[in-house]
Structure 1
Amino acid sequence: MASNGRSAASNAKSNGQTVDGARVKTVFVISPIGKPSSPEHRAAKLVLDYLIKKVFLEPEWKVVRADDENAPDSITTQVIDRIVNSELIVADLTDHNPNVFYELAVAHGYQRPVIQIMKEGQSPPFDVVDQRVIFYDLTDPASVEAAKESIAASAEWLADHSDQIRSPLTAHGSFTAISNAGPGDGANEAIASALTEIVTRLGRLERAQRNSKPEREDRLRLSDLSAESIRDSRQYRMGRERFAALTNELEMLDAKIAELTSKIDFVQNDKDAPADTRDRIVRDLREELDAISQRKSELTRVLAEERRELRFG
């Protein structure tokens, strides 16, 4: 099993270190750490020693966690440097630690190969539910062995398919564009593109929040307008703009429905996850899907009414 892990990243980039002429590859572990002697710290140490380090063996691999660093500069700078330059990232999502998800986002932004693990009985958050998670139970030897095998197999796949690595940020390679761009090399354009993407995503979130609680008193009802004046009136122009906005919202709902349907199918077919975890995630996704489908039905009805008022189609 460990040999599978060692061969996994044989084609990965080297960090420059060698032992007896052989390259030493780095696994950077993103995980909850906690204060020394705390239950969280002890649990993280057990996962590190009895799961991760049992797969990635020395001298070929060097397993590093943030609290292993001794350099005097910023811890955050060290962590980001490790994420960017390590051959592989292992992220433990247990307990939904905020620092873990910050560092995971950095890894996704730089398109780094990531293996996600989590304690059995817990559920990954919605934003990464469609990314494979390997579950473990340190109190169950069979679970530990299965997790080690899955980690080794995932590492090997990532090494052999580096061009197929996908994450929630795959379609937006802005981090890499910014880091690679220099003066006169499109740096400002790359930064602008990244900021535009962030603003766009925030705008979508704000619209979704507003649409989840529609304020009907602010809606323009075309049925209240005079049929004689509607064509040339300011209200008519506003009606056309509203119709276009509602049509755009309907398209966004269709895309969200397709996304949720895909996620439900993915979770249902993920045999590595415990059955109760799969059922819980699917139930939550179906509740969200039902709410969005209901909103789509309402929106379709409103659009039909306003299409008749504006004599569209």
Structure 2
Amino acid sequence: MPDTTALTPAKKKTCFVVGPIGSEHSESRIHADWLLEMIIQPVFEQHFEAFEVIRSDTITQPGMIDAQMIGHLLDADLVIADMSERNPNAFYEMGIRHMTSRPIIHMFLKGTEIPFDVAPYRAIDFSRIHPSDIRKAQARLKEAVEAVQHPDYKVENPVTRARGVQKLADDATPGMQVLIQQIADLSTRMHRIEGTEDHSYGNVRRSLADRPVFQSRTPDFVYRVIFSANYASPERFRIFEEQARTTISAIFMTGGANVLFVPRDDVVDIAFYEPMDAEPRVRFREYLKSQRGVLEVTTPEHAKRT
């Protein structure tokens, strides 16, 4: 019998693409198709023929789509995650992939505010404005794919980092545990020192410089709300502000138009630009202290009308 082994095509590796997709003809779908067809597919067709590029909406095998998606997230040789639009499903899918400690490449449309817990990790930004933007994104994606295929490549993401810290703590000798604790304490102190500088009352004023209504005004008083680092995020700060403004309306009997929220890192400064009685202030401070993730509520030095 003739040897047909040589005629059998080699099984291709899988590159699974996740991100906002949306309904047909929606802006999200146009964005997703643009990224796939103008950046991702050309790079793999020209440089990585051993890969098959699959996006969740192009899965053709019979069966439940959710189960197939999770299967690809767990088993694909590579995942490309588009963080544009801060799509909740995309971040859920990223979390599943992070748990596998297998290669993932993060991408996002320029101008997207990246969540703090993934911001420290390398990601490829891209733009749809100029033709040269496509070439730049393609080149960076090619470099990233080459990097994750290198034998010495080590996956780094929030999960692998947490596992590494835990393993270090588990395996540490008593002497090393003391050193780890000292390093952690020093890190906390440095963070607070930097926070004092970055969030000083003067900097609160400077951060308002581009808001004409506040340019020449001094807050009547300011509350500084310090959150735990693992809780702070732009989305949680947005929800916190919405709920706090509702409480301000109830306690101070004001619409909150003269109250400014200034979030930065793990701190939110709440500046009041109208006089408030002492008793409502105390009630509002107690409310702030009771909120999830809040470590401390303080009044910045010199935050009094002079």
User: TM-score under structure 1 normalisation?
Assistant: 0.51
Q: Is the 8 A contact 1:109 1:173 kept in 2?
A: no
Q: Deviations over 1:55-103 (max 9, x none)?
A: 1117422100111112332222111111122111111100000110000
Q: What does 1:228-307 align with in structure 2 at a 5 Å threshold?
A: 251=185, 254=188, 257=191, 287-288=264-265
Q: Deviations over 1:143-198 (max 9, x none)?
A: 11111111111111111156511110004569xxxxxxxxxxxxxxxxxx9xxxxx
Among 14, 25, 31, the alignment partner of 1:43 is: 31
2:155 is the alignment partner of 1:128? no
Q: Which structure shows the higher strand fraction?
A: 2
- Structure 1 residue 135 displacement after superposition: 0.9
Q: Is the 8 A contact 1:19 1:59 kept in 2?
A: no
Among 3, 8, 12, the alignment partner of 1:24 is: 12
2:160 alignment partner AA: T
Q: Cα 1:286–1:33, aligned 2, differ >3 Å: closer, same or farther?
A: closer
Q: Deviations over 1:118-140 (max 9, x none)?
A: 11122211121011121111231
2:57 is the alignment partner of 1:82? no
Among 169, 187, 191, the alignment partner of 2:159 is: 169
Q: Is the 8 A contact 1:88 1:113 kept in 2?
A: yes
- Structure 1 residue 287 displacement after superposition: 2.7
Q: Is the 8 A contact 1:113 1:162 kept in 2?
A: no
1:164 alignment partner AA: K
1:254 alignment partner AA: T
2:147 is the alignment partner of 1:154? no
Q: Is the 8 A contact 2:86 2:112 kept in 1?
A: no
Q: Cα 1:254–1:49, aligned 2, differ >3 Å: closer, same or farther?
A: same
Among 19, 33, 52, the alignment partner of 1:62 is: 52
Distance 1:136 1:93 in 2: 11
**SS across alignment from 1:115:** strand
Equivalent residue number for residue 98 of structure 1: 88
Distance 1:54 1:33 in 2: 19
Aligned length: 186
Q: Cα 1:110–1:173, aligned 2, differ >3 Å: closer, same or farther?
A: farther
Distance 2:53 2:31 in 1: 17
Identical amino acids, percent of aligned pairs: 25
Distance 1:147 1:101 in 2: 21
**What are the ranges of 5 or more consecutive residues in structure 2 without an aligned counterpart?**
1-5, 167-180, 199-233, 238-261, 270-294, 299-306
1:55 alignment partner AA: V
Q: Is the 8 A contact 1:257 1:289 kept in 2?
A: no
Distance 1:152 1:20 in 2: 28
Distance 1:61 1:290 in 2: 44
Distance 2:50 2:7 in 1: 8
**What are the ranges of 5 or more consecutive residues in structure 1 without an aligned counterpart?**
1-17, 175-192, 194-246, 265-280, 299-313
Q: Is the 8 A contact 1:110 1:173 kept in 2?
A: no
Distance 2:112 2:54 in 1: 25
Q: Cα 1:59–1:152, aligned 2, differ >3 Å: closer, same or farther?
A: closer
2:96 is the alignment partner of 1:115? no
User: TM-score under structure 2 normalisation?
Assistant: 0.52
- Structure 1 residue 252 displacement after superposition: 10
Q: Which structure shows the higher helix fraction?
A: 1
1:61 alignment partner AA: F
Q: Which structure would you say has the larger RCO, counting Cα contacts within 8 Å and 6 or more residues apart?
A: 1
